[in-house]
Each structure stands twice: as C-alpha cells, then as structure tokens.
Amino acid sequence: MADDLKTPLLDELEKGPWPSFVKDIKSLAGKKEMAKDLLRQLEKSYEDKRGYWKHGGLVGVMGYGGGVIGRYSALPEEFPGVSHFHTLRINQTSGWFYTADALREILNIWEEHGSGLLNVHGSTGDLVLLGTRTEELEPTFRALTEKGWDLGGSGSDLRTPSCCVGPGRCEYACYDTLSLAYNLTHAYQDELHRPMFNYKYKIKMSGCPNDCTAAIARSDMGIIGIWKDDIQVKPDAVAEYVDSGLDVQGLVVENCPTGCIELDGNEIKIDNSNCVKCMHCINVMPKALSPGKERGAAITLGAKAPIVEGALFGSVIIPFMKLEEPFEEVHDLIERIWEFWDEHGTNRERIGEFIERVSLATFLEGIGEKPLPQMIKAPRDNPYVFYEEYYAEEGEGEK
Amino acid sequence: MATEVERKTDIGPPHYEKFLHPLVKENYGKWEYHETLAPGVLMHHGPAGDLYTVRVSSPRLVSINFLNNILDLADKYADGYLRFTSRNNVEFLLANKDNIEPLKKEISELGLLVGGTNNAISNIVHTQGWVHCHSAATDASGLVKSVMDELAEYFTSQKLPAKLRIAVACCLNMCGAVHASDIAILGVHRTPPKIDNATLPNLCEIPTTVASCPNNAIRPTSIEGKTTVKVDEDKCMYCGNCYTVCPAMPLADPLNDGVSIWVGGKICNARSEPMFTKLAIPYLPNNPPRWPEVTGAVKNIVEIYAANAKPYERVGEWINRIGWPKFFDLTGIEFTKYHLDDFRHAGTTYRRSLHNRY
Amino acid sequence: MAIPVEQLADEMYEIIKESAGVKKLKGGDLTKAMVAKYGDEVSRADAKAAIRMLIDSGRCVYGYFGGSSIELPHSEAAENK
Ligand code: HEM
Ligand code: HEM
Ligand code: HEM
Ligand code: HEM
Ligand code: SF4
Ligand code: SF4
Ligand code: SF4
Ligand code: SF4
C-alpha cells in the first residue's frame, strides 16, 4: 500500500461482517491515484464532519445534455487525484441482467479511462461509473458505445426506464416488464439524452402490486402489473398448505384487507369482486394462488421526493391497460402527457406538482382521459364546486 | 462537429435477451412458483426446470476488483450469468443445485454474506454522501456499513415478523428514496449557507445565484460597495441549490449537520396501502467513523419491532395497530415539538377524534 | 411557410446571447419564444432540430443547473483546471 495513505478513521470501517467499501477502494489505491486521493479526502471529511465537493454543471459528452454528473474537489491542491471526479451514468439493462463477459468489457474500459470505482447500481438504476477527468469523458463514451453501451439521463430529461425482474424470474409478473423497459428506452433516446422537459421524468415498471421497483414512490410514471379477473386457485395445493400446518385462517384470511377470503376445512373461497389485488394471499401461498388471467397494468403518475413542494406518491391515472407489444397504447399515453406538461408546466415542476397545481380534472381533460372513480380514494368533501355548465336565462344555452 | 471516424450516439442499452441464462429464456413468462431453500437461496420452478438464485450482499460502491471476483464466481458456478437487484444485491443464477454450497463457501471466503430474502433486512438503498456529493449532510457509505455491521444477523436470517427495508439519503434532496422505507436515515443540514462575501462577487453571477433558490430566499445586497447576496433564514430549507451554482455559499456545517430517523413507510400493496415514513428522531449527531448514536437508535427500533409485531406486520402496520403514543413509549424515543407537522396540510396529521389509547 | 431550421437556430442563439448572465433558458423557453413569434410556422420538431443544431455545432452547451438550460460555452465557478 502507498505509504502516504494514512486513514485511521476509515480503517475502522474495514472491520465487521458487512462488506467494506473502504477495503475495496484501498485495493485500488496502489494502482490509481484517484482511488488513493478519494480515500484521503474522505478521511478528511470524516475528521472534519463535512463534505469537500463542488458541483460541475457544464461537463458532458458532445451533443448530450445528460448522463454526466460534474464533480470537482473543493481542495484540489491537497487532493490532486480527485481534482476532477465526474460520474457517468450508463443505461441500465432490463432487469439488471448481465453476462460476466459483457460486464468485464465495461470494467476494462473503466480501468483504462477512470477511477476503477462504480456504483452497482445508482439509485436511478443506471450503472454508475464513479470518477474521471473531463478530458476522459469523450474517450470513455466512445469506448462504451463501441461495445454497445450508451449513457443514461440527468437534469431535465427522461431517466433510463427501470423495471423489475418480471417474467425473467417471477411467477407474479402480469406483463413483460423487461420488454416494455427495453422498448421505451429505445423509443425515447432523444428525450433521454437531450433535456427538453420542465424537470426530470422517471418511468419505473413493476410486474405486480408488490412493486419491487418502488414505482409508486419513486417514479413520475409507474407502470404496475395487475389483473382484472379471478385469482387462480389450485385446490390441491391449498389443501397441502393447510395439511402442512400453515395457519391459513390466521395468516391469510385474517390479513386480507377486504375480508374477502373464506376458509372452509381445507378449501378457500375468494370473493373476487371485493379483492383489491393486494397480493398478500398470493405471497403467502405462491404454490396455490396466482394472479388472474386477464392481465395488464395500472398506470400511476406523479411520485416525487420533497423538493420543492413536498413529497408525493403516485396516483392512479389509468386503472387498467392491456400491455402487448409493440406497446403503442403506452407510447400514445406518454406522448399526450408530455405534450400537455410541456405546454403548461413551469420550470422545475415535476408532473406530480403540475397535476396538483392545475387540478386532476384539468389534467385529465388536457390529456384526453375521462375521470373514473378508481382514480380517487373519495370524492371531494369541500362544497366549493366551480360549475362549468349552467343554464343561462334567455336560451343562451349552456356555457 | 464530428468529422473523424463515425461517432455513435443514441444506441441505448443492449438487448436484455443476450444476458438471460438459457434456463431463464426457456422459462420466460412461464414460471410456476418459487421456494426459499435457505436465507438468500431461492428456487424458481418452471416447465423447463428449476433455477437456483443465490443473493449476496454488496456495498454498492465497489471497485473493478470486487466485480472481477464476482464475475469469476459467475463463470465458475453460474454459466457466466448474474443479475443485480433493485436494492443493489448480487444474484447468481444457477442451473445446477449442486453448485449452491461450493458457491456459498467461496462467497464467504470473499467476506460477503448470503441473505436478504423474505423476512430479512435487505441491503440498504443509499446515495453518495461525502464520497461524491456536494450537498451531503452526512456520509452514506460509512453509515450503511456501520448500520449493517450491527444488523448483519438480520440479513442472513429471516426471523423478523416481515420484510424490513432501510434507506439512507444524505440530504433533504433525498436522491435515495427514503420516504417510503420501514426505517429511513436522512442527513440534515440545520443552518443556511454561509456566505463568503470576500470571494462571492468575483466568483458568482448574482442573478443566477438569486434564481437558484427554489424558495426565493436569496436577495442581492451590497456590502462595502460590492454586490453580493444575503439569505432570508426563515425561508431557507437547506437544499444546497445555491451552492450548486455558487461555490462561495457552502452549506456544510460540521457543528450542526447530522442525521434524522424516520419510520413506518411501505411501498408494496400487500395488506395495507403504501405509506410515507414519519419522523421518529429529529436529530442525531454525525459521529464518524461509526455513528454509534445512529446505529444504536436503528437497532433499538428493529428489536422493539421484532419483539412486538405480529407475523407479516410491517413496521408501519405495527405502529398503526398499537398507535404512535405506544410506539414512543416502547422505544423510549422522546416526543418533541419537531414531531408536529407545520407544512402544508399539517392539520391532516393532528388527532381529530378521541381514538386514543391510555 | 415553415421557417428554416437554420434561421430558428440563429434566432435562438441571439436570444441566448442576450439573456446570458441574466436568465437561464431551457429548450422549452426557446421553443415557446419561436412559437410566439411565428405561430404555426414553427413546429416543435423544427424547434428541437434547431436546438440540436446549436448544441452539436458547439455554439451552445447544456448547463445542468436549474434543470438543463441552454447556454453559451463558458467556464464555471466550480471548475478545477
Ligand atoms: C434540488 C434538488 C436536488 C439536487 C440539487 C440534487 C442533486 C443531485 C446530485 C448532485 C446528484 C449526484 C450525486 C453524485 O453522484 O455526486 C444527485 C443524484 C441523484 N439524485 Fe438528486 N438532487 C436533487 C433532487 C433529487 C430528487 C428529488 C430525486 C428523486 C427523488 C433525486 C434523485 C437522484 C438520484 C436517484 C441520484 C443518483 C444517486 C445515487 O445513485 O447515489 N434527486 N442528485
Ligand atoms: C356552502 C356552505 C355551507 C353552508 C350553507 C352550511 C350550512 C350549514 C347549516 C345550515 C348548518 C346547520 C346548522 C344547524 O344546526 O341549524 C350547518 C352545520 C354545520 N356545518 Fe355547515 N355549511 C356550509 C359549509 C360548511 C363547511 C365547509 C363546513 C366544514 C368544513 C361546515 C361545517 C358544519 C358543521 C360542523 C356543522 C354542524 C353540524 C352538526 O351539527 O352536525 N359547513 N352548516
Ligand atoms: C412472495 C412474494 C414475492 C416475490 C416472489 C418477490 C419477488 C421479488 C424479486 C424477484 C425481486 C428481485 C426484483 C428485482 O431486483 O428486479 C424482489 C425484490 C424486492 N421485493 Fe419482492 N417479491 C415478493 C414480495 C414482495 C413484497 C411483499 C414486497 C414488499 C412488501 C417486496 C419488496 C421487494 C423489495 C424491496 C425488493 C428489493 C429486494 C432486494 O434487492 O434485496 N417483495 N422481489
Ligand atoms: C424521509 C425522507 C425521504 C427520503 C430519504 C427519500 C428518498 C428518496 C429517494 C432515495 C428516492 C429515489 C430516487 C430514485 O432513485 O428515483 C426518492 C424518490 C421519491 N421520493 Fe422520497 N424520500 C423521502 C421522503 C419523501 C417524502 C416525504 C415524499 C413524499 C411525500 C417522497 C416522495 C418521493 C417521490 C415521489 C420520489 C420519486 C421519485 C423521484 O422524485 O424521482 N419522498 N425519495
Ligand atoms: S414486482 Fe411483482 S412481478 Fe416484479 S419482481 Fe416483484 S413480485 Fe415479481
Ligand atoms: S389479493 Fe389481497 S385483497 Fe385479494 S384476496 Fe388476496 S389478500 Fe385479499
Ligand atoms: S441526497 Fe443530497 S447529498 Fe445525497 S446524493 Fe442526493 S443531493 Fe447529494
Ligand atoms: S440552501 Fe436552498 S433554500 Fe437555502 S438559500 Fe440556498 S437555495 Fe435557497
């Protein structure tokens, strides 16, 4: 190890059962000035209890407005290795599947052009190459595209759409999340790379209401698998669960939020007209129960973190849509939404804030959708209705 | 203008089919059910055969050395196929059941843990912190390491009443989704940016700096004949946007920056609807390298929850059943004025009934 | 008649130059400015093409701050050489 690397505080984090990022960065410190100075600057942060980074807003690769996060050390003389420490976001693949060989190609590029450090993955779901110099950005980009990889988004653009493992390894998937994520990422390359929106736009896809990608909390647009008909029941398998001693009454029936399951000996009856597709019973008895056959997705809009107007969960805009390749209905909806938001949204206004400002009714009208009771928890409880239709006195007709 | 050799743009990611294990391809969309063979080891059954998944911890911030080790294991035991989960765990996809034990052995030799399935604490989703971000109020990687060292036994077992999801975000921008986790650890700044009036006039464009503030807290002002800015402290919400454009307005404040703890969020729809996290502890100090106050507080909440919740009850569902007064009572966490919401629609969080337990 | 994309790009460039250091403009602002001036003679696609022309030629760059503004190339306060 380089002898000028003294990091007593960080060394504490090499101990303990959880894998240590410090140990890992150190494994590169002999080879990479960047890794070494990253540790030295981080040690100073640990001593002083504060960060030492500045934000770079202009760096990027030619022609793209997103995909690179500019970063400069605030102490470049002391830590020259991280004077520049920019990040590249790489388009995630559907479901985060890789072959070892494909990932090795990326690692080799990164060993040559950057710090050798990565986030697998960043919170956007993209693969994050952490730390390189301005003059290396374009060469890294060229090497990546040569191997078939491209950059993700940042700033006021589309983020790389993200999806759960879906039909790739999950029996609950109600539509092909991997295929839709791939389709949307390729259909909207321009929106991903050349920021034209009021603010960022994230699309996350989960194959069922378990929502393993947190679409309802973390995406402007969530596409969450759901079914309309009856839960499929295998009576023999139910009986096996009962016989094996699973407390079906206590753990399944009594936990159903709508009380729509009845257990009679070792048979169950589900009142599907009252099932809210919460997944609980299916999660507990995966061998016996599965989602129905008439499958598709519900689409939610408007989740966002607290900046600027407070945090929001997504709310249901399309209660049910069939999802089949080539997914034209989804494209059509996305484009109607973007057009209305572009036209009437303000700078840095996320779609969720936009809908709250203009009202759900106006938004639905703007994108050409009808109001439905599935979109709300309850109708309004304040009586100040601004009626748009009323009769005028002398046959002037409706306004 | 690109004149030399062809420069590729807008090619998007590779097609995922290239990366699917043959068994995954054959069973694609036809999976029938799954079983958990052991913590971190799943079996998915499909008509073309059974696929075994081994889920492994990762610090998320990793080096090419770490990944090369992982890839070698994938080659050796998983026909060269692997994937990563939405919480940054590694998953090896095996066609051969006999490879599970030797793979687990080599994983443990690398110092990694197998687990994170079902009623476990999975990996902590987190953000950049002092490792990479300019607006961080705390470190993320170090906090995660410290907390998971304390809770590792819950990663490698499935003994909790239900899943327990933890998230860390290093400032209120919350780039990591902590607003809907069972337990959230959130970095907080408590003071507005400090203005360096000596350098600001030369370094920063005044109109841009003023416009950077989402809350209109920044006004131009004049000091000794030079135009600079001032901050209306009542309006500032410590977001760091101004520092992004103007390095003469650092937000970092070692004396006051720290961590808050939030509880009871939930994303999946099972049983109850998704819920936001609610404030449990307004402030704990930054105490690197191990943040003992934070790890202690998180562990306490986990243990009280584990001892009191019913099967399948997530933290938020448990609290809703017993009520917030009892939550504060059981955990011994002090209830303060900071727990009372004062933002828009704050009133909806006030008790507007007599449904209280005494 | 449709306004040529080159002309749109030149006019956008002038607007960006005038507001440099005063107001950050985004793609949407520039598009709206052109639509305000020429109405139906400007399509969204043409405005987008004009912006792409400005960026690809290096006359303008994307700024990150404030949500991806389109700016004249310049060095920024945070930059280290
Ligand atoms: C004005 C508010 C915000 C600012 C100034 C901001 C700034 C940043 C910066 C500078 C980074 C790069 C961190 C790094 O690599 O060093 C980042 C990353 C990120 N931001 Fe934000 N952010 C803001 C709000 C948000 C919001 C509201 C979200 C979503 C809820 C978000 C999601 C993300 C994500 C997912 C990342 C990647 C983080 C990671 O992978 O670790 N940001 N943000
Ligand atoms: C269009 C506006 C409203 C009108 C014309 C109106 C009229 C009335 C009338 C006539 C009564 C019955 C008084 C009585 O007991 O003789 C009443 C009761 C009441 N109103 Fe309103 N009201 C209006 C809006 C509201 C609103 C917006 C609220 C609260 C959000 C409200 C809350 C109440 C309450 C709490 C009572 C007492 C109810 C009870 O005794 O059960 N009112 N209102
Ligand atoms: C037995 C039923 C369930 C099955 C078969 C299942 C399946 C899966 C699968 C395949 C993944 C990996 C997803 C990916 O990375 O794309 C996953 C991850 C995840 N699921 Fe589920 N899920 C189930 C129930 C749930 C429930 C009920 C919740 C929430 C309450 C949930 C929350 C999560 C979370 C947070 C992750 C990320 C975990 C990690 O990376 O370690 N899942 N689940
Ligand atoms: C307790 C503090 C919170 C933390 C640490 C936190 C953290 C995060 C993180 C890490 C993301 C993920 C960004 C991504 O990868 O897409 C996120 C997204 C989001 N958060 Fe939170 N969050 C918090 C509170 C809230 C609250 C209170 C709300 C709303 C009431 C909220 C709403 C959202 C929304 C809507 C997103 C979605 C995505 C986005 O903006 O891209 N968050 N949050
Ligand atoms: S969201 Fe549903 S379909 Fe997707 S991985 Fe999770 S449980 Fe499976
Ligand atoms: S999915 Fe949920 S609501 Fe529907 S029957 Fe099962 S437990 Fe009840
Ligand atoms: S949460 Fe704050 S400090 Fe952490 S990465 Fe995001 S902006 Fe940076
Ligand atoms: S920290 Fe945020 S709210 Fe405070 S002055 Fe700066 S930009 Fe405004």
Listing DSSP states for A81-110 in one string gives GGSB--EEEE-PPGGGEEEHHHHHHHHHHH
pLDDT one-digit tens code per residue, B150-180: 999 999 999 999 999 999 999 887 776 678 9
Band (pLDDT 50/70/90 cuts) for residue B72 is: very high
Q: Could you identify the residue written with the tokens 């309850």? A: A378
Residue closest to A370 by CA, chosen among A322, A335, A319: A319
Contact state of B29 with A54 under an 8 Å Cβ cutoff: no
The residue type of B150 is E
Residue B322 predicted with pLDDT over 90: yes
Task: Indicate the top mutation candidate among B231, B244, B249, B257 to test ligand 8's pocket, ranked by most ligand atoms within 8 A of CB.
Answer: B231
- From chain A, pick out residues whose CB is under 8 angstroms from the CB of B51: 169
- Which residues have C-beta atoms less than 6 Å from ligand 5? A 164-166, 170, 172-173, 206-208, 210-212
Find residue C62's DSSP bridge partners. C70
Query: How confident is the model over B63-81, as a mean pLDDT?
Result: 97
In order, the DSSP letters of B112-142 are: --B---SSSB-PPB---GGGT-SS-SS-SHH
Test mutation, A22, A123, A188, chain B, max B CBs within 10 A: A123
Task: Indicate the top mutation candidate among B215, B219, B228, B246 to test ligand 8's pocket, ranked by most ligand atoms within 8 A of CB.
Answer: B215
CA distance C50 to chain B (A): 15
Helix residue ranges, H only, B78-186: 100-109, 141-155
Closest Cα to atom 27, ligand 1: which residue?
Answer: A305
Contact state of A279 with B268 under an 8 Å Cβ cutoff: yes
What crossing angle do the helices spanning B292-308 and B324-331 adopt, rounded to 10°? 120
CA distance B224 to chain C (A): 22
pTM of the predicted structure, to 2 decimals: 0.84
- Can you state the percent helix, strand and coil of chain C, rounding each to 5? 60, 10, 35
CA distance A48 to chain B (A): 7
The residue type of A59 is V
Residue closest to A158 by CA, chosen among A93, A87, A69, A66: A66
- From chain A, pick out residues whose CB is under 8 angstroms from the CB of C57: none
Biggest CA–CA distance in chain C, Å, is: 48
Please answer whether residues B269 and A279 qualify as being in contact, where contact means their C-beta atoms are separated by less than 8 angstroms. Answer: yes
Task: Indicate the top mutation candidate among B87, B160, B314 to test ligand 3's pocket, ranked by most ligand atoms within 8 A of CB.
Answer: B87
The torsion region of residue B348 among left (phi > 0), alpha (psi -120 to 50) and beta comes to alpha
pLDDT one-digit tens code per residue, C43-73: 888 999 999 999 999 999 998 765 688 989 8
Question: What structural domains does chain A harbor?
Answer: 8-146 (3.30.70.2500), 162-227+297-375 (3.30.413.10), 232-290 (3.30.70.20)
Domain-wise residue ranges, chain C: 5-71
- CB neighbour class for C65 (10 Å; exposed up to 12, middle 13-18, buried from 19): buried
Residue closest to B180 by CA, chosen among A156, A159, A213, A280: A213
Instruction: Name every residue whose Cβ is closer than 8 Å to that of residue B342 and which is 6 or more positions away in sequence.
Output: none
- For CA atoms A76, A80, A84, A87, the dihedral sign is negative
- From chain A, pick out residues whose CB is under 8 angstroms from the CB of B284: none
CA distance A276 to chain C (A): 39
Q: Could you identify the residue written with the tokens 């003059």? A: A135
CATH class of C5-71: mainly alpha
- pLDDT higher at B119 or A348: B119
Residue A335: its pLDDT value, please? 96
The residue type of B193 is P
The residue type of B251 is L
Closest Cα to atom 6, ligand 7: which residue?
Answer: B175
Proportion of chain C above pLDDT 90, given as a percent: 46
Find residue B222's DSSP bridge partners. B227
Chain B contact for A226, CB < 8 A? no
Q: From residue A44, how far is each of A10, A131, A345, B291, C8 by CA, in Å?
A: 10, 18, 43, 16, 51
In order, the DSSP letters of B326-357 are: HHHHHHTPPP-GGGS--STTGGGGS--SS---
Please answer whether residues B346 and B315 qualify as being in contact, where contact means their C-beta atoms are separated by less than 8 angstroms. Answer: no
Find residue B166's DSSP bridge partners. B183
| Ligand that lies nearest to the alpha carbon of residue A211, given by its number in the listed order | 5
Q: Could you identify the residue written with the tokens 């009576």? A: A235
Please answer whether residues A171 and A80 qualify as being in contact, where contact means their C-beta atoms are separated by less than 8 angstroms. Answer: no
Contact state of A65 with C55 under an 8 Å Cβ cutoff: yes
Q: From residue B181, how far is each of A128, B185, B236 by CA, in Å?
A: 23, 9, 26
Residue A380: its pLDDT value, please? 87
C-alpha to C-alpha distance for A357 and A351, rounded to whole angstroms = 10
The torsion of the CA quartet B335, B338, B341, B344, rounded to 10 degrees, works out to 180
What crossing angle do the helices spanning C27-38 and C5-19 adopt, rounded to 10°? 120
Please answer whether residues A118 and A129 qualify as being in contact, where contact means their C-beta atoms are separated by less than 8 angstroms. Answer: yes
- From chain B, pick out residues whose CB is under 8 angstroms from the CB of C57: 1
Contact state of A155 with C64 under an 8 Å Cβ cutoff: yes
Residue closest to A226 by CA, chosen among A302, A294, A327, A317: A294
Q: Could you identify the residue written with the tokens 């009323």? A: A390
Q: From residue A145, how far is each of A114, A186, A288, A354, B3 by CA, in Å?
A: 16, 14, 46, 36, 17
Q: Is the CB of A99 under 6 A from ligand 1?
A: no
Residue B134 predicted with pLDDT over 90: no
Helix (H, G, I), strand (E, B) or coil at B153: helix
- pLDDT higher at B28 or A392: B28
- For CA atoms B146, B147, B153, B155, the dihedral sign is negative
Highest mean predicted confidence (pLDDT) among B98-107, C38-47, C57-66: B98-107
C-alpha to C-alpha distance for B247 and B233, rounded to whole angstroms = 19
Residue A2: its pLDDT value, please? 47
Q: Is the CB of B229 under 6 A from ligand 8?
A: no
Chain B contact for A379, CB < 8 A? no
Please answer whether residues B56 and B89 qualify as being in contact, where contact means their C-beta atoms are separated by less than 8 angstroms. Answer: yes
Report CA(A382)–ligand 2 centroid distance (Å): 11
**Ligand 6 atom with minimal separation from the A252 CA:** 7
Contact state of B145 with A284 under an 8 Å Cβ cutoff: no
The residue type of A37 is D
C-alpha to C-alpha distance for A277 and A286, rounded to whole angstroms = 14
Proportion of chain B above pLDDT 90, given as a percent: 78
C-alpha to C-alpha distance for B183 and B147, rounded to whole angstroms = 12
Per-residue pLDDT of chain A (399 residues; tens, 9 = 90+): 445 789 999 999 999 999 999 999 999 999 999 999 999 999 999 999 999 998 887 899 999 999 999 999 999 999 999 999 999 999 999 999 999 999 999 999 999 999 999 999 998 899 999 999 999 999 999 999 999 999 999 988 999 999 999 999 999 999 999 999 999 999 999 999 999 898 999 999 999 999 999 999 889 999 999 999 999 999 999 999 999 999 999 999 999 999 999 999 999 999 999 999 999 999 999 999 999 999 999 999 988 766 556 678 899 999 999 999 999 999 999 999 999 999 999 888 889 989 989 999 999 999 999 999 999 988 988 888 888 888 877 655 444
Band (pLDDT 50/70/90 cuts) for residue C74 is: confident
Residue A306: its pLDDT value, please? 64
What crossing angle do the helices spanning A134-146 and A100-113 adopt, rounded to 10°? 160
Residue B2: its pLDDT value, please? 43
| Ligand that lies nearest to the alpha carbon of residue A154, given by its number in the listed order | 1
Instruction: Report ipTM for this prediction.
Output: 0.89
Residue B70 predicted with pLDDT over 90: yes
pLDDT one-digit tens code per residue, B205-230: 888 889 888 888 999 999 888 899 99
C-alpha to C-alpha distance for B39 and B308, rounded to whole angstroms = 22
What crossing angle do the helices spanning A21-29 and A33-48 adopt, rounded to 10°? 140
Contact state of B212 with C66 under an 8 Å Cβ cutoff: yes
